[in-house]
């Protein structure tokens, strides 16, 4: 039966914990490192997720992508089912007629060397159409983008990314100049605004040419992708069904393509990163278990060392349950101390990391912080049970004899 107010017991336990400064500090450190690791790793995971979401949504969330081939969970593609139908610029044009479609961009890309005068640079070359600026939300800094062309028609025109233009033309205007890409000679009609990188692809270090030209240049029989911009995000599910129906009608009833919406893509990414974060955090949580062992050991030693104190308390009429509560509380105090310390350390390390590596994606999810602190409470409680029981079960007479 606890006679004294819990606050007084807490004060007494705190005194006992701080009485052994070094030993308590070391066991607190064990838990602290665990908590700091959990906080840092979840922050990194959450930061990465937010970074990727931001990267994707810079193109708007109304984008849909169609890729050739059906992603299936089973079966061998192409063995049964006869011919596969190619995804063509004509397919893209057919989709343009659907209601709710804002823009359609057939995409055929490849790597090629862009040459002018004595200079050249190997870059990604996108075969697209005139609607790309609207769908991706980019404009031209100089000149204009590709003009509207009939599906699959070639035209000897090119628009350069700002970095590519700078690398090849320096400070001169590239407008009206003829560049060579492979066997093609193309007139530069525009330079894009800077857009930055998407997951490591430098969108500024590219050239845009008409999709028909690109297919000829890279000897492609079909498109790699059709990008669609829906006019409203609410209409996307219905639009997706219509797209499927239209393409299947054109492909003799076969669904030999894959339609991905932006939201789906984000969900998949979010899930993958979530799993990775969870796995890494679980590994970090192992260090919390190690920290718990540290507390257990320290308290076990403490019970041995303070046998005389326990004996005295019993002689003073303090009952077993109170002694048990006391040692249990000490374990929880050590763990919570570690939790708070680790949290502070984790936040500090993040601040330092941000200063050293400004671009590092870090975001501390509040629920992870809460979970880590709850976990330390659990760790302390788990580590405290055995020593506290031992302390309470000591024979007062034997305990008094110890000194």
Q: Which residues bind other proteins (CB under 8 A)?
A: 1, 3-5, 8, 12, 15-16, 19, 308-309, 311-320, 322, 396-397, 400, 403
Number of Cβ atoms within 10 Å of the Cβ of 101: 18
CB of 337 to other proteins, least distance (A): 17
- 31 or 392: whose CB is closer to other proteins? 392
Strand partners, 186: 179
Give the nearer residue to other proteins in terms of CB position, either 8 or 150: 8
Which residue, among 283, 246, 243, has the nearest Cα to 260 in the 3D structure? 243
Residue 394 Cβ vs other proteins, minimum distance, rounded to whole Å: 12
The residue (of 193 and 309) whose beta carbon lies closer to other proteins is 309
Is the separation of the CB atoms in 96 and 151 below 8 Å?
no
Task: State which residue, 15 or 147, has the beta carbon closest to other proteins.
Answer: 15
Nearest approach, Cβ of 5 to other proteins (angstroms)? 7
Task: Report d(CA 306, CA 299) in Å as an integer.
Answer: 10
Q: Which residues contact 366 (CB under 8 A, 6 or more apart)?
A: none
Q: How far is Cα 174 from Cα 159, in angstroms, rounded to an integer?
A: 10
Smallest gap from Cβ 323 to other proteins, in A, equals 10
What's the full length of the chain, in residues?
403
Residue 36: how many other CB atoms lie within 10 Å: 26
Q: From residue 215, give the alpha-carbon distance in Å to each of 90, 184, 223, 274.
A: 13, 12, 8, 38
The whole-angstrom separation of Cα 45 and Cα 210 is 39
Distance CA 56, CA 66 (A): 16
Question: Min. distance of Cβ 389 from other proteins in angstroms?
Answer: 16
Name the minimum Å distance from CB 268 to other proteins: 58
Q: What is the CA radius of gyration of the chain?
A: 33
Nearest-approach distance from CB 362 to other proteins, in angstroms: 41
| Closest separation in Å from C-beta 309 to other proteins | 6
Nearest-angstrom CA–CA distance, 230 and 66: 13
Q: Which is nearer to other proteins, 155 or 312 (CB)?
A: 312
Instruction: Report the nearest approach of other proteins to the CB of residue 17 (Å).
Output: 10
Burial degree of 220 (CB within 10 A; 0-12, 13-18, 19+): middle
Complex with other proteins: residue 174 or 311, whichever CB lies closer: 311
Are 152 and 90 in contact, with CB atoms under 8 Å apart? Answer: yes
Q: Nearer Cβ to other proteins, position 110 or 396?
A: 396
Query: Of 16 and 189, which has the nearer Cβ to other proteins?
Result: 16
- Toward other proteins, which CB reaches closer, 16 or 29? 16
Phi, psi of 233 (to 5 degrees): -75, -25
């Amino acid at each position: 039966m606890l006679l004294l107010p819990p606050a007084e017991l807490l004060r007494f336990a705190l005194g006992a914990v701080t009485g052994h400064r070094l030993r308590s500090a070391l066991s607190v450190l064990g838990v602290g490192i665990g908590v700091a690791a959990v906080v840092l790793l979840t922050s990194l995971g959450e930061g990465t997720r937010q970074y990727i979401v931001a990267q994707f949504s810079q193109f708007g969330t109304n984008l849909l992508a169609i890729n050739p081939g059906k992603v299936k969970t089973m079966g061998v593609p192409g063995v049964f089912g006869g011919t596969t139908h190619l995804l063509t610029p004509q397919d893209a044009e057919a989709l343009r007629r659907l209601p709710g479609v804002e823009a359609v961009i057939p995409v055929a890309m490849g790597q090629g060397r862009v040459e002018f005068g004595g200079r050249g640079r190997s870059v990604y070359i996108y075969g697209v159409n005139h609607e790309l600026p609207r769908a991706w939300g980019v404009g031209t800094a100089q000149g204009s983008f590709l003009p509207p062309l009939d599906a699959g028609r070639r035209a000897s025109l090119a628009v350069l990314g700002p970095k590519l233009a700078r690398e090849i033309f320096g400070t001169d205007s590239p407008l009206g100049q003829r560049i060579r890409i492979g066997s093609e000679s193309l007139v530069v009609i525009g330079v894009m605004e800077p857009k930055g990188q998407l997951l490591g692809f430098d969108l500024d270090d590219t050239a845009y040419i008409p999709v028909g030209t690109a297919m000829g240049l890279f000897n492609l029989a079909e498109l790699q992708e059709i990008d669609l911009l829906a006019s409203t995000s609410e209409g996307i599910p219905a639009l997706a069904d219509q797209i499927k129906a239209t393409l299947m009608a054109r492909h003799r009833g076969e669904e030999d393509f894959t339609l991905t919406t932006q939201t789906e893509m984000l969900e998949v990414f979010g899930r993958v990163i979530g799993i990775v974060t969870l796995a890494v955090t679980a590994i970090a949580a192992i260090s919390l278990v190690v920290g718990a062992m540290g507390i257990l050991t320290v308290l076990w030693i403490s019970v041995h060392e303070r046998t005389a104190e326990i004996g005295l308390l019993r002689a003073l009429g303090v009952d077993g349950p109170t002694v048990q509560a006391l040692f249990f509380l000490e374990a929880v105090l050590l763990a919570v101390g570690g939790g708070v310390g680790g949290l502070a350390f984790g936040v500090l390390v993040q601040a330092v990391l941000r200063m050293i590596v400004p671009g590092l994606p870090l975001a501390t999810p509040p629920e992870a912080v809460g979970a880590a602190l709850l976990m330390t409470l659990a760790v302390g409680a788990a580590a405290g049970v055995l020593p506290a029981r031992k302390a309470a079960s000591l024979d007062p007479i034997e305990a008094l004899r110890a000194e």
